[in-house]
A = this chain, B = another copy of it.
C-alpha cells in the first residue's frame, strides 16, 4: 500500500471511530422505548427485505469457492427465509430484555449525608471483529445498541455482501427511530491494515471484542491499546469423582461431549477417578464409540476401552471441536484439579460427585469461568443462564467472565448527591 493510501485508510478509520463516539454520546441518553422501537422496526424491515437479503447473500455464496470455504462454512454463510426469520425473532427477544442502562447497582448514604449511587451506563464504543455467520451482524448490533453502545462491525470478507445488506437495514431503522445512524457502522474495506488502525484508537473505542480463531484473538490482544474482551475457545472437562452417581455421570458425559461437537462449551476431555474407572469406563466408552467418538486415553483407559488410541499431552491440551475425546484416569480429586488447571482453558469444567466436600473443593480450586456440579458443560451459555442473548463467552477474568450479555456491555458511574458538603 502506498504511503498516501495508508494515510487515507488511517483517516477513514479515525473518522469512523470519531463518528461512533459522537453517536455513543447521543445513545447514552435515549429512552429504553426508543431502543425497543428500533429493534421491532428492524425485525419488520428484515422480513420485508428477505429477497434483497437473499440476493446479497447469493453474491457471497458465489464468491465462496474463491475463499476455499469448507462445505460446513458455506452452510453457515447461507441465509434462507427461515434463518432470516430467526434473526428477526432474535431482535425481538433482545427488545424484550430489561434495559440495563440507568440501573442503580449499589447505593449508600455516608455519615456526612452524601448519597452515593453506582449507576449502570454504556461502555461507549465497541469494536467487534467476527468471522463468517452473517446473523452475528444483527445479534451484535442489537446487543450493543440495546446496551447504549455504538458499534463498529468488522465482519469477515466472505460474508461482506450479506453483512452490508443486514447492516443497512438496521442503520436505516436507526434513522427512522430518531437514533443516531452512526451508532452502527460496518467496516467492509478489504484492507487488513484497517483493524490495526482501529486497535490504536483508544481515544474513541472503549473495548474491542474479537470473535474468531486463536490467531486473530492473539493479534488483537497484542496490538490493542484499549481493553479487549477475549473469547478463546474451550477445552472443557468432565471429572467423574469416586463418589459420583455413575448413571448420572454417564449421561452428563455423553451430553457434554456429544450434544453438539463444534461449540466452545462441549467437553473435550474426560477424567475418571481410579476407584470407579473399571466400573465406569467400559460402558461409557461403548456409548461414545456408538456415537462415533474417537477415544484417546492413557494406558489404563486403553485397557478398559477397546480401540482407544494413545493420548499425548497435545491431546489433553486440544480443543477438538470434533467427535474426539481425551480420557485420563486420575488418582485423586486433587490430581483432577491440577490436570484441569494445567491443561484446560479456564472455560467450563464439570464434576460428578455426591460428596459435598469434593463438590465445594472443586468449585473453589478449579479456575474456570463456570464450574458445573452434576450437570452438563453445555449449560455455560447466556441463554441457558437466563442472561438472554450473548455476544460471546469470556475466558478473561477482568470486566466480564463467562457469557457476555447486555450487562457485560456496560460500565458504571458514581453519581453523588450532596447539599453543599465539602471535604475537611
Shortest CB-to-CB span from A9 to chain B, Å, is 21
Are A401 and B413 closer than 8 Å at their CB atoms?
yes
Shortest CB-to-CB span from A420 to chain B, Å, is 4
Count, chain A residues at interface, CB 8 A: 66
Does A66 lie at the interface of the complex (its beta carbon under 8 Å from any beta carbon of B)?
no
Q: What are the 8 tightest A-B residue pairs by CB atom distance, in nearest-first order?
A: A375-B418, A255-B422, A397-B411, A227-B398, A399-B399, A378-B423, A248-B420, A370-B414
- Identical subunits present: 2
Does A245 lie at the interface of the complex (its beta carbon under 8 Å from any beta carbon of B)?
yes
Contact string, A225-258, partner B, CB cutoff 8 A, digits 1/0? 1011100000000000000010010011001000
Does A25 lie at the interface of the complex (its beta carbon under 8 Å from any beta carbon of B)?
yes
Are A420 and B29 closer than 8 Å at their CB atoms?
no
Are A221 and B202 closer than 8 Å at their CB atoms?
yes
Cα A369 to Cα B118 in complex, Å, equals 10
Does A147 lie at the interface of the complex (its beta carbon under 8 Å from any beta carbon of B)?
no
The 8 Å CB contact of A225, one of B110, B222, B363, B411, is B222
Chain A facing B: main interface SS: mixed
Shortest CB-to-CB span from A345 to chain B, Å, is 12
Does A419 lie at the interface of the complex (its beta carbon under 8 Å from any beta carbon of B)?
yes
Q: Which of A222, A412, A416, A424 has the most CB of B within 10 A?
A: A416
Cα A30 to Cα B140 in complex, Å, equals 40
28 contacts between A and B (CB under 8 A): A110-B384, A114-B379, A123-B398, A206-B397, A222-B225, A227-B399, A248-B420, A251-B422, A255-B422, A259-B424, A359-B417, A368-B413, A370-B413, A370-B415, A371-B413, A371-B414, A371-B416, A373-B417, A373-B418, A374-B417, A374-B418, A374-B420, A375-B416, A375-B419, A376-B418, A379-B418, A379-B421, A398-B399
Does A54 lie at the interface of the complex (its beta carbon under 8 Å from any beta carbon of B)?
no
Are B123 and A416 closer than 8 Å at their CB atoms?
no
Does A210 lie at the interface of the complex (its beta carbon under 8 Å from any beta carbon of B)?
no
Chain B residues with CB under 8 Å of A114's CB are 375, 379, 384
Shortest CB-to-CB span from A97 to chain B, Å, is 15
Does A264 lie at the interface of the complex (its beta carbon under 8 Å from any beta carbon of B)?
no
Does A124 lie at the interface of the complex (its beta carbon under 8 Å from any beta carbon of B)?
yes
Q: Which residue of B lies closest to A397 (CB)?
A: B411
Cα A87 to Cα B119 in complex, Å, equals 33
